[in-house]
């Protein structure tokens, strides 16, 4: 994906990518010709969609990330979102409710719920945690 300056028709240059804060990623681009700037802010849901697809959202490409030339590689990993699901137990009721989510969205939902639980120091995900997460994500 590239952002083009409307006035100059030049590719914008990545200036800054801030790690997800409460799930929202901020990215700033600047036109090298006219210095116009544009910022992109993803909401927690958008950030989770991207990360559930295996795309790492983040800063300037370097090392193995350079091959992809993706300006977003690294921030989700660096923010600790990549391993959000480690160490959780799910009650049977919570698993059953998770299975009611459409299959294409289930990995994203699971990652979001587990991240929510991790941020609150919870080790088990039950129906109550699902309700709290649903309210938090306004779904």
Q: Where are the domains of the chain?
A: 13-78, 89-136
pLDDT above 90 covers what percent of the chain? 17
Residue 75, pLDDT > 50, answer no
Q: Which pLDDT score, from 0 to 100, does residue 86 have? A: 55
Phi-psi group of 84: left, alpha or beta (phi > 0 → left; psi -120 to 50 → alpha; rest → beta): alpha
More confident residue, 49 or 129: 129
C-alpha 36/C-alpha 102 separation (Å) is 41
Residue 112, pLDDT > 70, answer yes
For the entire predicted model, the pTM comes to: 0.42
pLDDT band with cut points at 50, 70 and 90 for residue 3: confident
C-alpha 48/C-alpha 29 separation (Å) is 22
Topology at the third CATH level for domain 89-136: Helicase, Ruva Protein; domain 3 (1.10.8)
Query: In 10 A of CB 98, how many CB atoms?
Result: 15
């Amino acid at each position: 994906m590239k952002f083009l300056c409307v006035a100059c028709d030049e590719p914008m240059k990545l200036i800054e990518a801030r790690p997800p804060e409460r799930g929202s990623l901020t990215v700033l681009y600047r036109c090298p010709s006219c210095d116009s700037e544009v910022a992109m802010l993803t909401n927690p849901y958008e950030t989770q969609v991207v990360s559930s697809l295996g795309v790492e959202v983040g800063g300037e490409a370097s090392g193995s990330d350079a091959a992809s030339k993706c300006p977003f590689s690294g921030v989700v990993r660096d923010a600790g979102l990549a391993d959000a699901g480690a160490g959780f137990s799910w009650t049977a009721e919570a698993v059953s409710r998770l299975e009611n989510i459409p299959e294409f969205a289930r990995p994203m939902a699971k990652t979001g719920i587990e991240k929510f639980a991790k941020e609150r120091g919870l080790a088990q995900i039950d129906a109550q945690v699902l309700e709290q997460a649903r309210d938090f994500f306004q779904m």
